Amino acid sequence: MYVLYTILASLVSFFILKWLKKRRYCTDLKRLDGKTALITGGSSGVGKETAVALATRGARVVIACRDAEKAEKAVREIRLRGRSLNVAHMELDLANMASVRDFCERFLQKEKRLDVLVNNAGEEEEEEEEEDVVAYPMPSVLDWTDDGFSMCFGVNHLGHFLLTNTLLPRLKECTPSRVVTLTCSNYKYQKLDFQDLNYNLLPFFTYSRSKLANIYFTQELARIGEAKGVTAYAVHPGFVQSGWTCHYSFLFRMLMQVVMWMFFVPCELGAQTVVYCAVSEAAAKHNGGYFVDCRPATLRPFARDSGVARKLWEASERLVKLV
Ligand SMILES: NC(=O)c1ccc[n+]([C@@H]2O[C@H](COP(=O)([O-])OP(=O)(O)OC[C@H]3O[C@@H](n4cnc5c(N)ncnc54)[C@H](OP(=O)(O)O)[C@@H]3O)[C@@H](O)[C@H]2O)c1
Please report which confidence band the pLDDT of residue 137 belongs to, taking 50, 70 and 90 as the band edges.
Answer: very low
CA of 12 to the centre of ligand 1 (A): 34
Q: Is the CB of 65 under 6 A from ligand 1?
A: yes
Query: Has residue 135 got a pLDDT over 60?
Result: no
Is the per-residue pLDDT at 136 higher than 50? no
Least confident of 75-89, 151-165, 223-237, 256-270: 256-270
Query: How far, in Å, are 28, 131, 204, 231, 320 from residue 39 at the CA level?
Result: 20, 33, 25, 16, 21
The model's pLDDT over 195-215, given as tens digits with 9 standing for 90+, comes to 999 998 888 999 999 999 999
Q: Give residue 129's pLDDT.
A: 43
Instruction: Answer with the residue of higher pLDDT: 249 or 165.
Output: 165
Per-residue confidence (pLDDT) for residue 3, from 0 to 100: 80
Of 124 and 295, the one with more pLDDT: 295
Cα of 120 vs centre of ligand 1, distance in Å, is 6
Residue nearest atom 1 in ligand 1 by C-alpha distance: 240
Are 90 and 107 in contact by the 8 Å Cβ rule? The answer is yes
In this prediction, residues 283-291 reach a mean pLDDT of 97
pLDDT of residue 139: 40
- Active site amino acids: 207
The confidence score (pLDDT) of residue 127 equals 46
Distance between CA atoms of residues 136 and 252, nearest Å: 7
Q: How many CB atoms lie within 10 A of CB 58?
A: 17
**What confidence category does residue 17 fall into, taking pLDDT thresholds of 50, 70 and 90?**
low
**Residue 236 phi, psi (nearest 5):** -95, 115
pLDDT at 16 (0 to 100): 65
CB atoms within 10 A of CB 46: 28
Report how far residue 207's alpha carbon sits from residue 150's, in angstroms, rounded to the nearest whole number: 10
Distance of CA 274 from the midpoint of ligand 1 (Å):
14
Give the number of other Cβ atoms within 10 Å of residue 165's Cβ.
Answer: 18
Residues in the chain, how many? 323
Tell me, what's the pLDDT at 4?
81
Bigger pLDDT: 210 vs 141:
210
Topology of domain 24-319 in CATH is: Rossmann fold (3.40.50)
Model confidence at 8: pLDDT above 90: no
**Model confidence over 167-197: pLDDT tens digits?**
999 999 999 999 999 999 999 999 999 999 9
Q: Are 223 and 279 in contact (CB under 8 A)?
A: no
What is the tens place of the pLDDT at every residue in 51-109? 999 999 999 999 999 999 999 999 999 999 999 999 999 999 999 999 999 999 999 99
The residue whose CA has the least distance to atom 28 of ligand 1 is 123
Q: What is the dihedral of CA 210, 216, 217, 223, to 10 degrees?
A: 180
CA 127 to chain centre: 21
Tell me: pLDDT of 252 over 70: yes
3-state secondary structure the chain: CHHHHHHHHHHHHHHHHHHHCCCCCCCCCCCCCCCEEEEECCCCHHHHHHHHHHHHCCCEEEEEECCHHHHHHHHHHHHHHHCCCCEEEEECCCCCHHHHHHHHHHHHHHCCCCCEEEECCCCCCCCCCCCCCCCCCCCCCCCECCCCCEHHHHHHHHHHHHHHHHHHHHHHHCCCEEEEEECCHHHHHCCCCCCCCCCCCCHHHHHHHHHHHHHHHHHHHHHHHHHHCEEEEEEECCCECCCHHHHCCHHHHHHHHHHHHHHCECHHHHCHHHHHHHHCHHHHCCCCCEEECCEEECCCHHHHCHHHHHHHHHHHHHHCCCC
| pLDDT, average across residues 151-175 | 97
177 vs 249, residue with greater confidence: 177
Would you state the pLDDT for residue 178? Answer: 98
Mutate to test the pocket of ligand 1, among 39, 43, 46 (most ligand atoms within 8 A of CB): 46
Rounded to the nearest angstrom, the distance between the alpha carbon of 43 and the centre of ligand 1 is 9
Asked whether the beta carbons of 82 and 75 are under 8 A apart, the reply is: no
* Nearest-CA residue for atom 10 of ligand 1: 182
Taking the CA atoms of residue 155, residue 62, residue 270 and residue 159 in that order, the dihedral angle to the nearest 10 degrees is 10
pLDDT value at position 12? 73
- Residue 133: the pLDDT is 34
Which pLDDT band holds residue 255 (cuts at 50, 70, 90)? confident
Least confident of 97-106, 127-136, 280-289: 127-136
d(CA 111, CA 87): 12
By the 10 Å C-beta count (0-12 exposed, 13-18 middle, 19+ buried), 178 is classed as buried
What is the domain partition of the chain in residue ranges? 24-319
